[in-house]
């Protein structure tokens, strides 16, 4: 019965306050937790180290409107008109918004272009008509797949996919 109560408490955190668990039972739960199995590497074992230079911001392009900002992966911004250069920055300005929120608030100067995984990986070149269209726009163009920003790699066959085209 105690085991059932413990499992029930774990499965439904809202009910956990109603169930009384002894300190011994709580220690047993923590010991069985997957996080409890994480141990320091023993001497001579490989250690996983994250490079200091790696960070989400370093791997992203920041777009801002002066009040809010959002992150998109490097390579997702495929066109920046000269009049919009000041909207792309290296430092966050204002409040962080999700991509969806930021896009909905800034549709006047950001537009998206749906690309396939094959196009994003550079296996299939981008449609030259799309690239030509972007270069005529006064909006920042962001490549997306299923609505989310995605990096676009240069084509593998020597086709030139503009990482960032500017006019």
User: Are 27 and 70 members of one domain?
Assistant: no
pLDDT at 89: 83
User: Are 98 and 32 members of one domain?
Assistant: no
Evaluate whether residue 157 is within a structural domain: yes
User: Are 8 and 65 members of one domain?
Assistant: no
Q: Are strands 110-114 and 95-96 parallel, antiparallel or unpaired?
A: unpaired
Helix (H) / strand (E) containing 80: strand 77-80
Evaluate whether residue 49 is within a structural domain: no
Evaluate whether residue 143 is within a structural domain: yes
State the residue range of the domain holding 87: 60-166
What is the C-alpha to C-alpha distance for residues 123 and 135, in angstroms, rounded to an integer? 22
User: Which strand ranges, in their side-by-side order, compose the sheet holding 95-96?
Assistant: 88-89, 60-64, 68-73, 95-96
Put simply, whether the predicted model's pTM sits higher than 0.85 gets the answer no
User: Are 65 and 115 members of one domain?
Assistant: yes
Q: Tokens in use for 14?
A: 């809202």
User: Are 89 and 162 members of one domain?
Assistant: yes
User: Are 67 and 119 members of one domain?
Assistant: yes
Unique residue bearing structure tokens 């998109």: 72
pLDDT at 63: 94
What is the C-alpha to C-alpha distance for residues 119 and 153, in angstroms, rounded to an integer? 8
User: Are 98 and 26 members of one domain?
Assistant: no
pLDDT at 81: 93
User: Are 28 and 67 members of one domain?
Assistant: no
User: Are 107 and 138 members of one domain?
Assistant: yes
**Secondary structure of residue 152 in the 3-state scheme:** coil
What is the C-alpha to C-alpha distance for residues 40 and 36, in angstroms, rounded to an integer? 11
pLDDT at 59: 84
Interior angle at CA 166, CA 69 and CA 115, nearest 5: 70
Q: Tokens in use for 26?
A: 């709580």
- How many domains does the chain fold into? 2
37-57 pLDDT, tens digit per residue, is 566 777 777 776 766 667 787
User: Are 83 and 162 members of one domain?
Assistant: yes
Segments in the chain below pLDDT 50: 1, 3-9, 12-16, 156-167
Evaluate whether residue 137 is within a structural domain: yes
CA 125 to chain centre: 24
């Amino acid at each position: 019965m105690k085991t059932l109560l413990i499992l029930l408490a774990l499965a439904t955190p809202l009910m956990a306050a109603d169930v009384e668990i002894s300190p011994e039972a709580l220690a047993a739960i923590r010991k069985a937790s997957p996080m409890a199995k994480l141990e320091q590497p023993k001497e001579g074992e490989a250690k996983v180290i994250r490079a200091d230079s790696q960070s989400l911001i370093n791997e992203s392009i920041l777009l801002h409107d002066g009040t809010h900002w959002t992150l998109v992966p490097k390579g997702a911004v495929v066109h920046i008109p000269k009049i919009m250069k000041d909207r792309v920055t290296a430092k966050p300005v204002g409040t962080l918004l999700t991509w969806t929120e930021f896009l909905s608030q800034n549709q006047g100067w950001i537009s998206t272009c749906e690309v396939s995984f094959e196009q994003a990986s550079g296996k299939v070149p981008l449609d030259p008509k799309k690239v030509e269209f972007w270069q005529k726009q006064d909006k920042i163009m962001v490549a997306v797949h299923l609505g989310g920003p995605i990096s676009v790699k240069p084509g593998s066959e020597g086709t030139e996919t503009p990482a960032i085209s500017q006019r």
